[in-house]
A and B are shown apart, each in its own frame.
Chain A
Amino acid sequence: MKPATAQRWANLLILPTLNILTAFVVTTLVFLAIGVNPIDAAKLLVKGAFGYQNGIGYTLYYTTNFIFTGLAVAIAFHAGLFNIGGEGQAYIGGLGVGLVVLAFDGWLPAIILIPLAILAAALMGAAWAAIPAYLQAYRGSHIVITTIMFNFLASSLMVYLLVNVLGEKGQMSPETRSFAESSFLPTWSEMLGWFGIPFASSPLNISFLFALFCCFAVWVFLWKTRWGYELRTVGANPDAAIYAGINPKHIVMMAMLISGGLAGLVAVNELLGVQHRLLLGFNAGYGFGGIAVALMGRNHPVGIVLAALLFGALYQGGAELSFDMPNVTRDLVVVIQGLIILFSGALESMYRPQIQRFLSRFVKDEVSA
């Protein structure tokens, strides 16, 4: 094996695997700290997530959200930007869905209403990302800070709108009226029913396929188009990009608009697919989860699908686990997310020196032989 090839394999496979393993080793320590047998818990988790049709449906439904936010974070990462604002962009995407559906669901047919609502989700998510993007590109303010601030602003705005403007009067919780049925996305049990295949009813809907399509589209965009090439160039080396005639400001805007749009699509799955009304906190945790998904998936669409599936399974399996084990809450998933971000993100190169030492010995042997 040539040294360069060995290095490539170390970066692509060995390091990420070690990082994720470390995160899971620490997770088992947390299990032990709360007095739960990690093996029993893992069995229950897997059974809850994949053991029966309804469980699979929930797993893939959560996966859908994580794919959208994971792609959102990843595309910004490729441009060298850290978008922490997925949470707020998803929230405002929901506002777009809500406004369109509440305005038009009385008279537009599903075939026009649904695409319009999806477009609104993406546009509003993109719009919410556009301001931090503009401030980063043209005014030099740091996008991490502004996207954090915009998460809080989104949350305040939504509370205000749902409590004072959009909310249905006389409701206990601030939420809008139910959407008309013409806005409902078909669920998997309905879609498979068209072909005579029975599938247990679950929140899983057509958005999952849409999410997979978005993965493909992001892959094509990043690696097969000129814009994608320019975006990755800016992320890899802004100076070289300028020298090559690329305007990094335009790329920052483009990357963040796409990123915000993708995050906004969470609202499609949640509101058009499942909740059928606009409500507080439907976005909770998916924006931050997307960071873990993108880091774990190495910012590649295929990796993101796999990482999203893992987190979807943990969400669903974790819910199941908390039924059976009163000592456990689903918030355990949050711990795992944190650990993944820590070990696959911040401590990404923790094992690099050891690997390098090991590799150099190994490769040298090869050369001398």
Chain B
Amino acid sequence: MSEWFTLLISTLDATLRVSTPLLFAGLAGLYSERAGVVDIGLEGKMLVGAFAAAAIAHLTGVVWLGLIAAIIVSVLFSLLHGFASITHRGNQVVSGVAINILASGLTMVLGLAWFHQGGSTPSLTNNERFTAIQLPFAESMQTVPYIGPLYSDMLSGHNILVYLAFALVPLTWWVFYRTRFGLRLRAVGENPKAVDTAGISVATLRYQAVIIAGVLCGFAGAYLSTAQNAQFIRDMTAGQGFMALAALIFANWRPWPVLFACLLFGFLDAVAVRLQGVSLPHIGTVPVQLIESLPYILTVILLAGFLGKSRPPKADGIPYVKER
């Protein structure tokens, strides 16, 4: 088998791993924004989730408790966002910025005070994190040409959260387009007045959406600190929440395209890591920073209307005021 194929498999394998947190966060943003609540705070919620997961997994030795803690803390921040932007009709962008800054500060301050490791949490042992699971027949398939490595090396051997993230895409599609809740959720993001006229509470629906976003960001955070890594490190989200936001915009706020955008951005990241210091034939060294910034450049170009029309939910970011 050619060297290129092996390289491709390992790059795609890495793509799945780095796409996972983007996917969780991107879907989180999808629920929130399709319901009309702008979510700049994905980054912050991931960060507090990552901190809570690593801290609780370390203290209890049970990774699942870490995951639950991540979800709870992330949902609390979501509720704060909901309180500001739904109940008090505050500026949703300002609220999101506040959540990001608050999350960054709180995790550093509490991390240092509680664990005395410069803001990191202690390293987790393998029992305290999500580890790789082998899909059935992964070993026996290994020898089959092409399909074998594709299955055994790329698709198999990830932790459970990776599979969960990808399973959430069809689930989200089904919720959005095949359930009553999904219909109402989309309606409240496009035309909240119509929903209100139908006797359905706009606030309740938006709170539900925001809570779902919190749960998903909790998964994203737990993945970062207890699956992809084995501890919490200060500011470890490093912009992935914003990358997820970019993916959401790039996908025009639809579930399947969110998957493709996250995979594309994840792939670019995986490629950037592999191209570090490598000189390509005919091209020379490609600056890693350029590849890393491609998601942002692409998103800006798309937003500028040069790559098709960006069409956010109509009521996205607009607080709902009942007529008096």
Chain A residues in contact with chain B, CB under 8 A? 30, 33-36, 82, 84, 131, 135, 139-142, 144-146, 148-150, 152-153, 156-157, 159-160, 164, 288, 291-292, 295, 326-329, 331-339, 341-342, 345-350
Contacts and interface: CB of A to CB of B under 8 A. Distances in A.
B305 interface: yes
B40 interface: yes
A338 B105 contact: yes
A352 B207 CA distance: 22
A212 B287 CA distance: 41
Interface string B83-110: 1110011111111011111111110111
Nearest to A84: B97
A336 to B, nearest CB: 8
A34 B112 CA distance: 9
Contacts of B40: 144, 148
B110 A34 contact: yes
A268 B92 CA distance: 33
A137 B105 CA distance: 34
A100 B161 CA distance: 50
B310 interface: yes
A142 B114 CA distance: 40
Nearest to A142: B303
Contacts of B297: 149, 153
B164 interface: no
A135 B299 CA distance: 12
Contacts of A142: 303, 312
B299 A160 contact: no
Interface of B: 40, 80, 83-85, 88-95, 97-106, 108-110, 112-114, 116, 119, 239, 242, 245-246, 249, 287, 289-290, 292-293, 296-297, 299-300, 303-305, 310, 312
Nearest to A159: B289
A93 B249 CA distance: 28
B88 A30 contact: no
B60 to A, nearest CB: 19
A149 B298 CA distance: 10
Nearest to B298: A149
Given A82-B94, A84-B97, A144-B93, A35 B113 contact: yes
A87 to B, nearest CB: 11
A44 B155 CA distance: 56
Contact of A30 (B99, B103, B106, B245): B106
Nearest to B85: A346
B106 A335 contact: yes
Contact of B101 (A148, A157, A341, A349): A341
A156 B303 contact: no
A334 B102 CA distance: 7
Nearest to A138: B304
Contacts of B113: 33-36, 327-328
B304 to A, nearest CB: 5
B214 to A, nearest CB: 16
Given A139-B305, A145-B303, A152-B296, A331 B91 contact: no
A327 B102 CA distance: 18
B289 A334 contact: no
Given A141-B310, A145-B249, A346-B95, A335 B102 contact: yes
A348 B319 CA distance: 14
A149 B246 CA distance: 8
B94 A345 contact: yes
10 contacts: A30-B109, A145-B246, A146-B303, A150-B300, A156-B292, A329-B108, A334-B109, A338-B98, A347-B90, A349-B90
Q: Identify the 7 closest CB pairs spanning chains A and B, nearest first.
A: A338-B102, A334-B105, A346-B95, A34-B113, A335-B105, A141-B303, A338-B101
B292 A342 contact: no
A157 B289 contact: yes
A34 B106 CA distance: 11
A151 B292 CA distance: 13
Contacts of B110: 30, 33-34
A175 B180 CA distance: 57
Contacts of A345: 90-91, 94-95, 97-98
A331 B235 CA distance: 12
B95 A342 contact: yes
Nearest to A36: B113
Given A140-B305, A157-B289, A338 B94 contact: no
A331 B97 contact: no
A335 B94 contact: no
A141 B304 contact: yes
B42 to A, nearest CB: 11
A341 B296 contact: no
A82 B93 contact: yes
Nearest to B80: A342
Contacts of B88: 346-347, 349-350
Given A153-B297, A334-B108, A347-B90, 17 more contacts: A30-B110, A34-B109, A84-B97, A141-B305, A142-B303, A144-B93, A148-B245, A149-B242, A149-B299, A153-B293, A292-B101, A338-B99, A341-B98, A342-B95, A345-B94, A346-B91, A347-B95
